[in-house]
Amino acid sequence: MTSNAGRALAHPSREEIRVEGVLHALSDPIRLRIVRQLAHDADELACSRFDLPVSKSTSTHHFRVLRESGVIQQFYRGTAKLSGLRTDDLDTLFPGLLDSVLGAADLQAKRLAADARTDAPETAGLQG
């Protein structure tokens, strides 16, 4: 069998996605980071392409939370598992939600980076 259908992954249907679950999935820093990378870098990435500060087991856990809450879809291709945002489903169910969360995360990242630049040089003197 050359098909990848042997390993099917459970996804919630569009109707089963709940806004509370989506918000909860996005409220973890690691998962938010995954989603931001998916949104910015590519539509579909293998899990191994993410450089996360946790073990593989923990990564698997976070990807599963994202998938089971309806934020991402996953499928196998060879030994790799590719992940992509369920942009269409989310935009249909909750228009603008994903974009504003991603925008908020970007703004916060910029703000925190700027804070670090203004804080550090004076006191600590350590910079990247």
Partner DNA sequence: CCCATTGTACGAGAGCTGTCGTAATTCTAC
Partner DNA sequence: GTAGAATTACGACAGCTCTCGTACAATGGG
- Per CB under 8 A, residues contacting a second copy are 15, 18-21, 23-24, 26-29, 32, 93-97, 99-101, 103-105, 107-108, 111, 115
Bridge partners, residue 85, by sequence = 72
Which residue lies nearer to DNA by CB, 48 or 92?
48
At its nearest, how many Å lie between a second copy and the CB of residue 34?
13
CA 55 to chain centre: 16
Spatial CB neighbours of 44, under 8 Å, sequence gap ≥ 6: 82, 83, 84
Residues 28-87 that bind DNA (CB under 7 A): 28, 30, 46-48, 53-65, 74, 76, 78-81
Tell me the one-letter amino acid at 45.
Answer: L
Helix spans in the chain (H): 19-26, 29-40, 56-68, 87-93, 97-123
Spatial CB neighbours of 92, under 8 Å, sequence gap ≥ 6: 14
At its nearest, how many Å lie between a second copy and the CB of residue 124?
19
Residue 96 binding partner per list DNA, a second copy, none, with a CB distance cut-off of 5 to 8 Å that depends on partner kind: a second copy
At its nearest, how many Å lie between a second copy and the CB of residue 82?
25
CB atoms within 10 A of CB 91: 14
Of the candidates 44, 33, 126, the residue with the CA atom closest to the CA atom of residue 85: 44
Residue 110 binding partner per list DNA, a second copy, none, with a CB distance cut-off of 5 to 8 Å that depends on partner kind: none
Binding site for DNA (CB under 7 A): 1-4, 6-7, 24, 28, 30, 46-48, 53-65, 74, 76, 78-81
